[in-house]
Chain A
């Protein structure tokens, strides 16, 4: 069984993305794909509404395969309201991208509502040696948020971008679950990640349609046992999603 905890529809290419995700699920045996829909870095209310409707629409079209995370812009005062509505409609988590840093105080009401609703928060996190976007979170901000809310289950996307840079910041924080999605495919990074955070916190994700196939290769090429690969492929995600 494989659960992809981190995939997307892009607002400008969602029709093509749906086909890509369905085809990948068939090819790689993904049993469940959790998506959020994203487009611009600092979306307004209208765009947020449009994007979350795309997610809901795909969930309804493919109920057995597609699960949803509600995309929020913490700058908007009605984020909690949007979140509650989305959860009522079946979404199972919150997605934050690059509108604000994740330790911005405007994230607090959303974080508190995640805990109240018992859903995880998926936070984009990517340290770039070539320069960050203005409000692009790195692992230090994930750490701040995790310490502020020890009961909040945080999915730290992309292992922080660079595993060597990102994981050291959250290795002692049991409420932070790094996902392996995205571009990192350096040899040995899964083994390194397991050494840093243990095998019970690492989640499988792809970041489809932005690449993704290599994430399967990373797990397969690691030195982990089949039992431990199972944890990464789906068991840990079930725990984070509260569907054990």
Chain B
């Protein structure tokens, strides 16, 4: 089924450091429906901090099955035998992309384990969703994130040239620094969840000709849902529809 408006950066489950940062599929569906979002690429929030993320992925899959939502397993490329997670995922649920959190799991974008992992994902024609941060690193005193160097992104992109790579939680100034990379690689996309740090970000990206690379991502329930959606205020309807309907993982991906 071809979906229209999509949230590429959403989770269900619980974040253990805050009582409020939790949701279930029903609540997510209600908030999406209220904002005209038809579906989402949803992952298990608990999985992010599980020793074996597949435990959470398999639980989430039970809820996602037979809904309009797309299952996105969280994975940690530093764990041995990454092929195993792709195999279990293939046997257990339909999925088009996998989600990784380098700042949480502690590796950079040129880590050999990640490059091997990316090769496996590409060989299986799965897109890669990469969180450049997992919430504002300045604020989280319980889970210190390891910063990544976005200038190393081309190393990763060399492994994924035929599959989409989505950068989530990236800031506008970081997008600007990646200008050459964005020009060189057409398979790289960015989400809206961290555009809050700048004003009129959509207008800026439109001027730069990057609207086709922009997708909607709320980072809900880590962020208030409207934190990203509010950026549409002032944008014309065509722009909003183009971003919400930018269906990057349904093009040539298994």
Contact = CB atoms under 8 A, between A and B. Distances in A.
B220 A187 contact: yes
Contact of B224 (A126, A162, A183, A218): A218
Nearest to A190: B224
Interface string B151-178: 0000000000000000000000000000
Interface stretch (B66-74, B123-131, B194-202, B246-254): B194-202
Interface in A140-168: 161-162, 164-165
Given A214-B224, A217-B227, A28 B233 contact: yes
B196 A183 contact: yes
Interface residues of A, number: 35
A184 interface: yes
Interface in A193-213: 208-213
Given A28-B233, A130-B138, A210 B220 contact: no
A187 B21 CA distance: 6
Nearest to B224: A221
Contact of B226 (A28, A130, A217): A217
Contact of A187 (B138, B199, B221, B234): B221
Most B Cβ at <10 Å: residue of A27, A127, A186, A217: A186
Chain B contact surface mostly: loop
A164 B224 CA distance: 16
Contacts of A126: 138
A183 B221 contact: no
A128 B140 CA distance: 8
Contact of A211 (B20, B21, B197): B197
A213 B140 contact: no
Nearest to A216: B230
Contact of B200 (A23, A127, A184, A192): A23
A209 B199 contact: yes
Contacts of A220: 226
B82 interface: no
Contacts of A212: 199
Interface residues of B, number: 30
B212 interface: no
A242 interface: no
A30 to B, nearest CB: 13
B166 to A, nearest CB: 20
B18 interface: yes
A127 B196 CA distance: 19
A103 interface: no
Contacts of A189: 20, 224
B139 A162 contact: yes
Contacts of A184: 136, 139
Interface in A100-153: 126-130
B185 interface: no
A183 B21 contact: no
Contacts of A213: 196, 199, 230-231, 233
B222 interface: yes
Given A28-B233, A187-B223, A221-B226, A214 B139 contact: no
Contacts of A99: none
7 contacts: A24-B199, A27-B234, A130-B138, A185-B227, A213-B199, A214-B226, A217-B227
Counting from the closest, the 10 A-B pairs by CB-CB distance are A188-B20, A217-B226, A221-B224, A129-B141, A214-B196, A214-B227, A185-B227, A217-B230, A128-B138, A162-B139
Given A213-B196, A221-B224, 13 more contacts: A20-B200, A128-B139, A129-B139, A162-B139, A186-B139, A186-B222, A187-B220, A187-B223, A188-B19, A188-B224, A191-B20, A217-B224, A217-B230
